[in-house]
Each structure stands twice: as structure tokens, then as C-alpha cells.
Amino acid sequence: MAGMSKRKLKLFVDAEVLVIPHFSGIGHYVSHLLRALDELIENRDDIEVTLGVYYKSIAQIKTYGYRNFRIRRSPFSLRTSNGLKTKARQLYYDLLFGKKIYLFPNYTTWPLWRSKMISIVYDLSFELYPQFVAPLNQKFLSSQVKKTAEKSDMILTISKNSQDEISDFYNISKSRITIVYPAVDQSVFFGRPTNQIKSTKARFGIHGDYILFVGNIEPRKNLKNLLLAYEQLDAKIRKKYSLLLVGARGWLDDEIFELIEKLRVKGNHIQQPQGYIEDEYMPAIYSGASAFVYPSLYEGFGIPPIEAMACGTPAITSNNSSLSEAVGDAAVMISSKSVNELSSAITKVLTDEKLREKMIKKGFDQVDSFSWKTSANQLIDVLGELSKQ
């Protein structure tokens, strides 16, 4: 009917992932997706977005500076929430906050009485590679994500590989799984000038030219093979380039650190930064690298190679899981199982100038294929679809 007002889309986001102590890749994904959504709805009155966090985190969520979102207080801390989920004693969440479309961005959900549910399941590493996950966390996720998959009206994930795995593992139609890719903010990740790289290196005690790895220090990242591949490099290359490992300690990392010390005793130059590197310094760290290496055994997507390419650094990655989606034909891809293949790839990238120039150009093009604005628009499309059901 002419003149009839458009029905308002009401989205409630469980935003606890943004205020937890150990801010992770999931936190980065959600914060960037919401920032793009915030900009898209700036001048729209047909979409209402509410963020829900534990009442003690209200001040922290406000530091994100979202302009167009409401904030509601949740009575449950993350610890209480997970405890209730484990014991299956959860309340209907929409009895607290009203009938809306609910987005749960961290694998697990609350039951809803008369509202639609969107959940984000990034990958199934905890099911497919349980040896890489702490046992208690693996048990919790294995139990809860099955419920999430069954209850969700729509599941968002971050790659076609993850979409296929979720569909196959839980026997869910792919029509209920939407791919919303991560992206890189190119106003932040771009090649930095020499003086900025130099000052950043000095700040964190980093010396000379380096081959870079960024990620948690844990077995899934395949650091053992990276260290062995570095040891296999020609002595002249190892003398010129150190191996710089940037990342927090992860699960089952003792063997990795033992190997690091063993190789250092042999004279290999393996660096780790002095202190924690805040996000604002990472573009300079990427820009200063001669090559970026990411030989993971499994990734839900793999954003560090995209960040490296955005900064003009050629990347080497494994040819498994979702990594080919992330890097396209812009990176050198190797078998994660082959130390020789990885060592040869590092040598080639460091010594073949024409290859480097080609990779850097293709890298910029690949980065351009992902956009947070596009991803936020996809979320809006999902809201529209669910509102019609």
C-alpha cells in the first residue's frame, strides 16, 4: 500500500566477545564487521542494532565509538553464561531483550522463544583437529556448537571451506550457511615508510632483515616445520635474514620453544619481539618483513597473509583448508607437511626479484577482493531474508 512505512529490522548482538580479557581473531572480526555496519546504517531508520554486554563491561564497549548502536545490559558474565550453557539451564534470551533477530558471534548461543537466530561458526578445527585444542575447550565447543547448528535459522561463516565442513559435519543445507568473508582495513594496513619501520623495530628490540610469522605459538600453526625449514636455508640467507616470530603463547607450545632454543644454540638467528606488539604497530612490522610465512595445518580463513600483502610483503602459505581462498594466486603455496618445499619457497621468494614484484602486485589485487562494507551488506541481506520468514 502506498505510503505504508517499511518494517524496522531489529538486530540484537551478543557483544561479549568484544570485551573479554583475551581479545582474539574473533574479536577483531566482530569489531570490524560491526564498525562497517555502524557506518552503513548511519542515515537509515529501518535498522535498529542493539549490543548486549555484561553490565560491568558497559564502559569498555563504549570505547569502540559505535555511533548508531544501542547498548543493553546483560545480567550474565561470560563465565556465568558458559556455566549455564554447559548445564543446559539457560533462559530464553528474548524474554530479557524482546523479539528481534539475535546474532551470536562466538560459536555458542542462548535459546530463543519467538525470535530468529543467527550464529557465527568460524571453522570446525575443534572437531576435525581436536589435538590442537585444549581438552576442556574442545569438549565444550563440541557439545555446544552442535546445538548451535541445530537451532540457528542462519549460520554465518568465513570461508567456503568452512561452509562445506559445517554442512557435511552437521548435515545442514548450505542454504542455511552464508559466507561473510573477513577483510583488511586498508586505511590501517598499508606499506609504511622506512623511518616508521626503523622506529618500530627499535621499540620492540627487532634487529636487521627478517622473515616474518604472525600467529599464536601453537602446533596448529606448524611452527616446528617452519623452524626446520629456516634451519635448512643456505647459511648466507640465514646470516642476512632472521626468523621473527610474533604471537602469544598458545596450546602445547613446549616442544616449539625447546626447538627454538636448540636452533639458537646452533647459531640460527630466531627473534621474538620484546614485549607485546599492539595492533597499531603491526603494519610497520609487516612492512619491514622481506617475506611473510604462514604454514598452518588448518585455518578457518587466515587473515595475517592478507594483512601482509596489504603492506606490500610477499606471502608464503600452506595449500590446505581455506588458505587458497584467502590468498588466491598472489602467494606461493606449499604443502604444510614438506619442510623441503617450505625451505625452497622461502629461498625463491627472497632471491627472485621478478617473482617478488609480481607477488606484491597480485597481493594488492587480492586484498581488494575483500571488503568489510561488502560483508556488512551481506549481514543486512541476511536480516532482510530472516525478517520475511
Question: Which residues neighbour 277 within 8 Å (Cβ) at sequence distance 6 or greater?
Answer: 204, 246, 285
Q: Tell whether 133 and 161 lie within a shared domain.
A: yes
Burial of 161 (0-12, 13-18, 19+ CB in 10 A): buried
- Does the model's pTM come out above 0.85? yes
- Give yes or no for residue 5 having a pLDDT over 70: no
Contact 155, 178 (CB under 8 A): yes
Q: Tell whether 179 and 199 lie within a shared domain.
A: no
DSSP conformation letters of 21-82: SS--HHHHHHHHHHHHHHHHTTT-SSEEEEEEEEGGGHHHHHTT--SSEEEEEES--HHHHH
Contact 273, 242 (CB under 8 A): no
User: Cα–Cα distance between 278 and 275 in angstroms, integer?
Assistant: 9
Q: Tell whether 65 and 23 lie within a shared domain.
A: yes
Q: Summarize pLDDT for 218-258 with one digit per residue, the tens.
A: 999 999 999 999 999 999 999 999 999 999 887 788 999 99
- Return the percentage of the chain with pLDDT > 90, whole number: 86
Task: Give me the domain span that covers residue 177.
Answer: 9-183+371-388
User: Cα–Cα distance between 263 and 265 in angstroms, integer?
Assistant: 5
The predicted pLDDT at position 89 comes to: 83
Q: Tell whether 204 and 219 lie within a shared domain.
A: yes
Q: Tell whether 214 and 145 lie within a shared domain.
A: no
In a domain, 189, yes or no: no
- Asked whether the CA dihedral 269, 275, 279, 281 is positive or negative, the reply is negative
User: Cα–Cα distance between 114 and 240 in angstroms, integer?
Assistant: 63
Number of neighbours of residue 280 by Cβ within 10 angstroms: 9
Contact 243, 230 (CB under 8 A): yes
In a domain, 276, yes or no: yes
- Which H or E run contains 318? strand 315-318
In a domain, 188, yes or no: no
**Cα 32 off chain centre by:** 11
- Give yes or no for residue 114 having a pLDDT over 80: yes
In a domain, 120, yes or no: yes
DSSP conformation letters of 119-176: EE----HHHH-GGGS-HHHHHHHHHHHHHHHHH-SEEEES-HHHHHHHHHHHT--GGG
Q: Summarize pLDDT for 349-360 with one digit per residue, the tens.
A: 999 999 999 999
Look up residue 270 and give its three cell numbers: 630466531
Domain CATH number, residue 377? 3.40.50.2000
The predicted pLDDT at position 6 comes to: 64
- Give yes or no for residue 3 having a pLDDT over 50: no
Q: Summarize pLDDT for 289-307 with one digit per residue, the tens.
A: 999 999 999 999 999 999 9
Q: Number of folded domains in the chain? A: 2
Look up residue 201 and give its three cell numbers: 623495530
Query: HEC profile for 235-271?
Result: HHHHHHEEEEEECCECCCCHHHHHHHHHHHHCCCCEE
User: Cα–Cα distance between 302 and 294 in angstroms, integer?
Assistant: 9
Q: Tell whether 135 and 225 lie within a shared domain.
A: no
In a domain, 253, yes or no: yes
In a domain, 209, yes or no: yes
Q: Mean pLDDT across the chain, nearest whole number?
A: 94
- The CA-atom distances, in angstroms, between 173 and each of 151, 201, 252 are 13, 49, 35
The predicted pLDDT at position 4 comes to: 45
Question: Which residues neighbour 245 within 8 Å (Cβ) at sequence distance 6 or greater?
Answer: 213, 217, 223, 260, 270, 271, 272
Biggest CA–CA distance in the chain, Å, is 79
Q: Tell whether 346 and 229 lie within a shared domain.
A: yes
**Closest to 319 in 3D by CA, of 306, 304, 292, 338:** 338
**Cα 268 off chain centre by:** 30
